[in-house]
């Protein structure tokens, strides 16, 4: 019995199934300090060129550092290869609160998989102390509609997964607008993280050489013979 177990172990290790590890690369754009024009839909854009060894996006995450005075005024999107994800669209704006949240700035990460949920409704999870920016990791707003009509009930159709499958190389544009007068905001910095999806690879024979392949064949015959002898009569 011990010989059979040993032979089965040898056969098991003779074949392996590999999975290519996910890769990720981060691109940071610090010290921008770009004022966002107050109450002006023309907004401000920051264009950055990414050069990556990754050729197909599996997921994207973004960080935003915005110094500000009224988060409910802010609208932001990220564009690449004619594809747009809406990061912010008047956080807190609802039918009962047409002005949105009055908190001061954001220092956040955005990920489709964030456990705290939709950044549009972040005060349902946490309320920043007076004068302090929102922090933490949130899902992007995703509401791809006019900021003057957006509500919490608006469907979310433009999360970060719109970039999945694209080549990350090339120009990425971050656009921000302050959609209502009163309270100034500044884009301090932002960053982009590109992640690939692990790709399963076919099982393959280890490079055991001719002797190893003969051993595998011998093991298989032994296992079949043993299993035949164990069949009930």
| pLDDT tens digit sequence for 65-118 | 999 999 999 999 999 999 999 999 999 999 999 999 999 999 999 999 999 999
- Quick check: 197 and 22 in contact, CB under 8 A? yes
Residue 162 carries which DSSP code? G
Mean pLDDT of 9-35: 71
Q: Angle at the Cα of 204 (from 202 to 205), degrees rounded to 5?
A: 170
**pLDDT over threshold 60, residue 6:** no
| pLDDT tens digit sequence for 118-171 | 999 999 999 999 999 999 999 999 999 999 999 999 999 999 999 999 999 999
Residue 82 carries which DSSP code? T
Neighbour-count burial for 116-146, b at 16+ CB within 10 Å, e otherwise: eebbbbbbeeeebeeeebbebebbbbbbbee
In angstroms, the Cα distances linking 168 to 54, 158, 159, 176 are: 7, 17, 16, 21
Mean pLDDT of 44-52: 97
Q: Count Cα atoms within 13 angstroms, Cβ side, for 22.
A: 12
pTM listed for this prediction: 0.78
Query: Residue 11: left if φ>0, alpha if ψ -120 to 50, beta else—which one?
Result: alpha
- Quick check: 133 and 67 in contact, CB under 8 A? yes
Q: Look at residue 183 in the predicted model and tell me its pLDDT.
A: 86
| pLDDT tens digit sequence for 25-40 | 999 999 999 999 999 9
- Quick check: 99 and 72 in contact, CB under 8 A? yes
Sign of CA dihedral 164, 116, 69, 38: positive
Residue 174 carries which DSSP code? E
- For the chain, which domains are there? 2-18+204-229 (no CATH), 24-195 (2.60.120.260)
- Quick check: 131 and 181 in contact, CB under 8 A? no
């Amino acid at each position: 019995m011990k010989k059979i177990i040993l032979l089965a172990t040898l056969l098991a290790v003779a074949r392996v199934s590999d999975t290519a590890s996910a890769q990720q690369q981060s691109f940071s754009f610090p010290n921008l300090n770009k004022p966002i024009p107050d109450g002006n839909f023309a907004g401000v854009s920051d264009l950055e060129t990414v050069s990556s060894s990754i050729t197909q996006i599996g997921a994207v995450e973004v960080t935003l550092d915005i110094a500000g005075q009224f988060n409910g005024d802010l609208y932001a999107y990220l564009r690449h290869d004619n594809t747009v994800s809406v990061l912010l669209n008047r956080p807190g704006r609802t039918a009962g609160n047409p002005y949105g949240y009055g908190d001061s700035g954001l220092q956040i990460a955005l990920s489709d998989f964030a456990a705290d949920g939709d950044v549009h409704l972040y005060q349902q999870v946490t309320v920043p102390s007076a004068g302090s920016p929102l922090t933490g990791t949130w899902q992007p707003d995703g509401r791809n509609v006019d900021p003057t009509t957006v509500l919490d009930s608006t469907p979310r159709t433009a999360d970060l997964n719109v970039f999945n499958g694209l080549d990350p190389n090339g120009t990425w544009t971050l656009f921000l607008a302050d959609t209502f007068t009163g309270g100034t905001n500044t884009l301090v910095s932002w960053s982009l993280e590109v992640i690939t999806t692990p790709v399963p690879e076919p099982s393959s024979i280890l490079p055991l050489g001719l002797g190893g392949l003969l051993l595998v064949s011998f093991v298989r015959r032994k296992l079949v013979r043993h299993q035949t002898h164990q069949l009930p009569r």
